[in-house]
Amino acid sequence: MGETKTVHSPIVTYTSIVSLLTLAPPFVILLWYTMVHADGSVLQTFEYFRKHGLQGLKNIWPAPSLIAWKIIACFGAFEAILQLALPGKRVEGPISPNGNIPVYKENGLLAYAVTLVTYLGLWWFGIFNPAVVYDHLGEIYSALIVGSLVFCILLYLKGHLAPSSSDSGSLGNFIIDFYWGMELYPRIGKNFDIKVFTNCRFGMMSWAVLAVTYCIKQWFVQFSFDSQIIFYLQYEMNGGVSDSMLVNTVLMLVYITKFFWWEAGYWSTMDIAHDRAGFYICWGCLVWVPSIYTSPGMYLVNHPVHLGTQLAVLILISGLLCIYVNYDCDRQRQVFRRTNGKCLIWGKAPSKIVASYKTEQGETKTSLLLISGWWGVSRHFHYVPEILAAFFWSVPALFNHASFLPYFYVIFLIILLLDRAKRDDDRCSSKYGKYWKMYCDKHIGDASSDPEHLDYCSYEAPWIILGASDRLIELDFTVYLFTSNSSLLEVSLVDMSLKLCLLNSLL
Ligand code: NDP
């Protein structure tokens, strides 16, 4: 059953849940309003609310219009059909806590290509103008907010009445069940995986479609702004789209292409393998991703910046590098797990910890923890290039308009990933126990800040005299000795009997 325990204290947990449930929807509307109608200026929006109070929120909140529902329904139905109909390799997800192995069809990249080609084709042949999406963005968000809330209620009911697998259950509390979800792998029928739909085929796909939309919209905006000579010249130089918008769009599209290229890998990450389908994940992917994740591009539509070739290329290359490093981190873990550690990481056989854990049924299983490559640099190192990449597709907005809004996504991402790292550490710590502690201590950065670690170093010499170790780490009352051939020996210090027992061969 996914994550069942809360990491923070109950008061923090409930406060953050209730705040997110109540504040996230108006925030989506406020961000859109400020970006599109208040010149991206938080001060202007603030001034508006000072004058109009809460009634002001009611005034700016667009009603979900028919065209908005139609756009969402067409997009959602198209993606659902692609998910079901396109061919793809059969892929098994990681074994769930209840011992189930979910099976997927790997057709995300194909669905992504079909979606973009269809969208651009509709535009090219004059069947549908993507600028319409931008013009009805507020109504679309408004409809998504309501529609996704209903969707999450249905998910909650499904979890109670007709769960798809034994990886489901209640925490005994309506708020937490609704927020975190009931099921880990909810499905419609045998094949339609709901989380793949919400997270990948709707959420991530809408991000790509909106990135293209903003670019196309800016292309059109030039005609309405052509009296403003500076904008006009800038658009002229870039063939209708500013270089800042181009850099932003290219980086976001490369990131999303990477996502779909690696989609099967995503199915073994926390979102899919650990987080259950509830408001947090599903509402987040259905509403928060298309609104907040796309916001740097949304801002640029009306606030084009001329970067110049040098700066544009510098930002582009830096962003591409970060996306590559983020991909490579995920790839290393995926290849390492898939080959059972029998692979090369940075040209060498990887160091690893064989960590055993107990399933909810009490069965003992083992997982491999990688301590080489990026995963040997620090825990959650992959979050660093993830944040930097987001910074690089936001920074084309520069700081010209004295607004931090184009950087809101980066700020949000830092908070999200810090919380996620904490949740993941907590989960892994309770799953793997001493093996996780051993993994954490293996990172010099973490361990060296621990004064006790310095004491352990003083034990190192005798072992080196024994000729058996190249590294010594103590955990509680246990010393772990990494021998030169990477076998792991355990030495109990409690009785000082120096009982050496071979735990696992790490090769
Ligand atoms: P991971 O894919 O890193 O998954 C964490 C899991 O990996 C852990 O729960 C554990 O699971 C396993 N694990 C941890 N350490 C090791 C290790 N040393 N060796 C092998 N396996 C290990 O986390 P995320 O799902 O957070 O990230 C996946 C990708 O998605 C990243 O690129 C991240 O940047 C990106 N991301 C983007 C977000 C966004 O909003 N833009 C949000 C979140 C993530 P197990 O139980 O299997 O051992």
As given in the structure block, the two tokens for residue 179 are 């927020």
Give the whole-angstrom CA distance, residue 417 versus residue 266.
16
pLDDT of residue 420 exceeding 80, the answer is yes
CA-nearest of 150, 180, 364, 103 to 169 is 180
Least confident of 51-55, 171-175, 466-470: 466-470
Q: Among 180-194, 344-358, 472-486, which stretch is predicted with the lowest mean pLDDT?
A: 472-486
Residue 235 confidence (pLDDT) above 90: no
pTM, rounded to two decimals: 0.85
In a domain, 299, yes or no: yes
Per residue in 390-409, pLDDT (tens digit) is 999 999 999 876 678 999 99
Cα of 386 from ligand 1 centre, angstroms: 12
Provide the 10 A C-beta neighbour count for residue 123: 16
**CA 80–ligand 1 middle distance (angstroms):** 26
Ligand 1 atom 2: the closest Cα is on which residue?
Answer: 269
Any domain includes 497: no
Distances (CA, A) of 416 to 3, 233, 242, 337, 413: 17, 39, 30, 26, 5
| Cα gap 90→82, rounded to integer Å | 16
One-letter amino acid of 40 = G
Please report whether residue 269 resides in a domain: yes
Ligand 1 mean position, distance from CA 346 (Å):
20
Is residue 458, in this structure, part of any structural domain at all?
no
What spacing in Å lies between the alpha carbon of 269 and ligand 1's midpoint? 5
Centroid of ligand 1 to alpha carbon of 257 (angstroms): 19
More confident residue, 193 or 364: 193
Q: Is 471 part of any domain?
A: no
CA of 358 to the centre of ligand 1 (A): 20
Span 92-148, pLDDT tens digits: 999 888 889 999 999 999 999 999 999 999 999 999 999 999 999 999 999 999 999
Q: Once rounded to an integer, what is the mean pLDDT over residues 434-444?
A: 81
In the predicted model, is pLDDT for residue 455 greater than 80? no
Cβ–Cβ < 8 Å for 331, 312: no
Q: 435 lies in which domain range?
A: 14-441
What is the per-residue burial (b if ≥16 Cβ within 10 Å, else e) of 175-194?
ebbbbbbbbbbbbeeeeebb
Q: Kindly tell me if the per-residue pLDDT of 55 is higher than 80.
A: yes
- Say how many domains are in the chain: 1
Q: What's the pLDDT band for 298 if we cut at 50, 70, 90?
A: very high
On whether residue 8 sits in a domain, the answer given is: no
Strand, helix or coil for residue 118: helix
Q: Predicted confidence band at 7 (pLDDT cuts at 50, 70, 90)?
A: low
Place of tokens 């809408």: 206
382 lines ligand 1 (CB under 6 A): yes
Per-residue model confidence (pLDDT) at position 240: 80
Indicate if ligand 1 lies below 6 Å from the C-beta of 269: yes
Residue 470 domain flag: no
Q: Is 424 close to ligand 1, i.e. is its CB under 6 Å away?
A: yes
> Considering only CA atoms, which residue is closest to atom 14 of ligand 1?
369
Q: Are 100 and 115 in contact (CB under 8 A)?
A: no
383 in ligand 1 pocket by Cβ < 6 Å? yes
**Mean pLDDT, all residues of the chain:** 84
Does residue 501 lie in a domain region? no
Q: Which residue has the tokens 């976001």?
A: 252
**pLDDT-above-90 percentage for the chain:** 72
Nearest CA to ligand 1 atom 33: 383
